Each structure stands twice: as structure tokens, then as C-alpha cells.
Amino acid sequence: METMTPHCGSWPEMAWPEAVEGPEPPPGKISGRGDTLSAKEFARISSFIHESSGIKLPPTKKLMVESRLRRRVRHTGFSCLEEYLGHAFGPEGKSELVHLVDAITTNRTEFFREPSHFDLLTGKVLPELLRGGQQPLKLWSAACSTGEEPYTLAMVLSEFAAEGGELRFEILASDLSTRVLQRARQAVYREEQAAAIPLRLRKKYLLRSSDPSLGLVQVSEQLRRRVAFRRLNLMEDELAAGERFHVIFCRNVLIYFAKEDQKKVMCRLHQYLVPGGFLFIGHSESMAGLGTPLSAYASAVYRRAGENGVPMERPIPRHN
């Protein structure tokens, strides 16, 4: 990392707020009475989380939920989970419920995660879209977590443009969690998190903190301006009428939803694709049995039919 572009002057003052979260506290009681969830409390949280986000929390997730909520208990200064839940679900608790959902979401992500998708994007998808003369290309990272996915897209598309000439693109990145969106906008990462980015791209698109002992990097302004962040709940929120995308990444979030909610979300995303547009899901996820109108294009990649519902060609065998 020592060969990385020197820092720019403006960001070293930036704090590193909740980014270094540390390990989750151990399961079990940590401060005595009221600090584990009764079956009734867990059922209430589970049904609230499901209604508000689509995330399903079977009883096997009880320890995880307790552990994640304890962080929130500490942060808000309540003495135990019981007291915290009394507040969150009480008459004054509406704004805290947003944080409660934030605390429960799983936000694991990384730069260049599932890298074959980015190869497919540059090797097949972008050339095909550009042959159709579709500019500017609009991409949406629909569960973007702390920003690594949309910034990877921005790097990959910027490189494609640098090598292949004219390419105009816009990236929308959204998530349910306000906490991760705040971090995504800051675009500050630990050097280890950036290690998955090829060195050449790190040199080109990352800035180092003026204080190297912090071990932090920030995505360059040039790249950050390519990504617009928005809070959106895939289960509820509508995008602006007429907003359509050539490529949607909705990876590693379906797995947290029940089957009927997966179908609902996929059918909704289908409507936000231009005819012939592409939808990427995580490799551990599946559309099998959901009955959506999308056709398989490649491994964990689906495609909307063309104009007038004409199926698009699928040049890549399904097992690729």
C-alpha cells in the first residue's frame, strides 16, 4: 500500500465512527436480569422485523439478535434489553425502531465480491448494452451495505470507459439501513478491506489518510461522485415513476427473505429493468421456483425480455 496515491488534504479530519465494530459480545446474560429475550419478546421482534424489512428471523437466530441488540442497548444508555425494548416499542420509540432494524441487518460485504460477475459485466453485458446504443447506462446496487459493491461497479465501469472510449453511466446505491448508508457515503475503509482491489486500481482510485498509523483509505472524489446513495426498503419503497435500469445488482439479501417475499422483490425489480436489462443475484441465492418473468442468462444472472416480451438470446450456458 506504500505506493498508493498520496492523501488529499480534505479528509484526514474525518472520524472513523462506528466502522470498527469489533466482535459481537458473547451470547448469554451480560448485565443480569432483563438482558436475555423471552420467547415472547423474541417473537415480537421477529414479527416486527419481518413486517418492516422482509428479513426472517427463525428461533435459531435468538442469540444473534440478543447480541446485536445489546450493542444498541449500550449505545443508547439503557440498562438492559428489557428496558430498551420497552422504550423502542413504546409511544416514544418510533425513531428508535429504525435503529433497531439497522442493528439486526447483516451487512457483510467486500470489494470485488463474487468477482466472476464483474468479468461477465465487462466481457459480455456492457458490450451488449452498448451495441444497443443505450447511454447513459444506469446501474443500481439495490442492497449496497457499506458501499463496497457500488464503488466496485464504479471502478469497473470507469476502467471500461478508459479502455474503450465513450461510456456514460450513473449508479444508484440503496439499502434499508441508515447506519451502513452513512458509512458508504463516507467511503472510508480499512486498508485490509481494500486489499481485494487490484493494486493498479487502488493506486488510481484510493486516497490514503495523512496519518498512516490509522491504516485507512478513502475512495476518491472522482469515483464517489458517480454513486448516488438513497435509503430504500426493497419490500416497500417505490422508486420514482419511470426510473429504469440497465443493470441491477441485488446480491446476498434474498437469502434473508421468505420465499414469497423473494418473489415479491424479484417481480418488483423486474419492473425496474429496461427491456433486455440484467439482474445479478448472489451465487448462493436462487430464483428457482419463484416463477418470475426473468430468464436465466448466466450463473446468478437473469435478464428481462426485450421489447414486446421477445426473449433475449442467452449466449452463455447456464452452468457458466
Ligand X SMILES: C[S@@+](CC[C@H](N)C(=O)[O-])C[C@H]1O[C@@H](n2cnc3c(N)ncnc32)[C@H](O)[C@@H]1O
Q: Write out the DSSP string of 91-114.
A: TT-HHHHHHHHHHHS-----TT-S
Q: Which is nearer to ligand X, 4 or 184 (CB)?
A: 184
| Calpha distance 251→284 (Å, rounded) | 9
Burial group, residue 211, by CB count within 10 angstroms (0-12, 13-18, 19+): exposed
Q: Which is nearer to ligand X, 53 or 209 (CB)?
A: 53
Pairing of strands 273-280, 245-249: parallel
- Cβ at position 107, least distance to ligand X in Å: 4
- Cβ at position 279, least distance to ligand X in Å: 13
35, 45, 54, 70: which one contacts ligand X (CB under 6 A)? Answer: 54
| Calpha distance 136→161 (Å, rounded) | 12
Contacts with ligand X: how many residues (CB under 6 A)?
Answer: 24
Q: Is the dihedral of CA 110, 22, 86, 45 positive or negative?
A: positive
- Cβ at position 160, least distance to ligand X in Å: 20
Does 53 help bind ligand X (rule: CB under 6 A)?
yes
- Cβ at position 269, least distance to ligand X in Å: 11
Q: Write out the DSSP string of 61-86.
A: GHHHHHHHHHHHHHHHT-SSHHHHHH
| Calpha distance 296→316 (Å, rounded) | 10
Question: One symbol per residue from 63 to 92: x for binding ligand X (CB under 6 A), - otherwise; what is it?
Answer: ------------------------------
Question: One symbol per residue from 168 to 197: x for binding ligand X (CB under 6 A), - otherwise; what is it?
Answer: -------xxx--x-----------------
- Cβ at position 135, least distance to ligand X in Å: 25
Does 252 help bind ligand X (rule: CB under 6 A)?
yes
| Calpha distance 302→293 (Å, rounded) | 10
Cβ–Cβ contacts within 10 Å for residue 241, how many? 5
* Active-site annotation, residues: 68, 175
108, 131, 200, 319: which one contacts ligand X (CB under 6 A)? Answer: 108
5, 67, 182, 233: which one contacts ligand X (CB under 6 A)? Answer: 233
Does 251 help bind ligand X (rule: CB under 6 A)?
yes
Q: Which is nearer to ligand X, 89 or 112 (CB)?
A: 112
Q: Which is nearer to ligand X, 3 or 60 (CB)?
A: 60
Question: One symbol per residue from 144 to 163: x for binding ligand X (CB under 6 A), - otherwise; what is it?
Answer: -x---x--------------
Does 106 help bind ligand X (rule: CB under 6 A)?
yes
Does 227 help bind ligand X (rule: CB under 6 A)?
no
CA distances to 58, 65, 97 from 47, in Å: 10, 13, 13
| Calpha distance 205→151 (Å, rounded) | 10
Q: How many residues appear in the chain?
A: 320
Does 107 help bind ligand X (rule: CB under 6 A)?
yes
User: What are the φ and ψ backbone dihedral angles of 314, each rounded to 5 degrees?
Assistant: -120, 90
Q: Which is nearer to ligand X, 57 or 80 (CB)?
A: 57
- Cβ at position 83, least distance to ligand X in Å: 26
> Quick one: which of 195, 125, 122 has its CA closest to 161?
122
Q: Which is nearer to ligand X, 145 or 218 (CB)?
A: 145
The C-alpha cell that represents 99 in the structure block = 435503529
**Residues at the contact surface with ligand X, assessed by CB under 6 A:** 53-55, 105-109, 113, 143, 145, 149, 175-177, 180, 233-235, 251-253, 256, 282
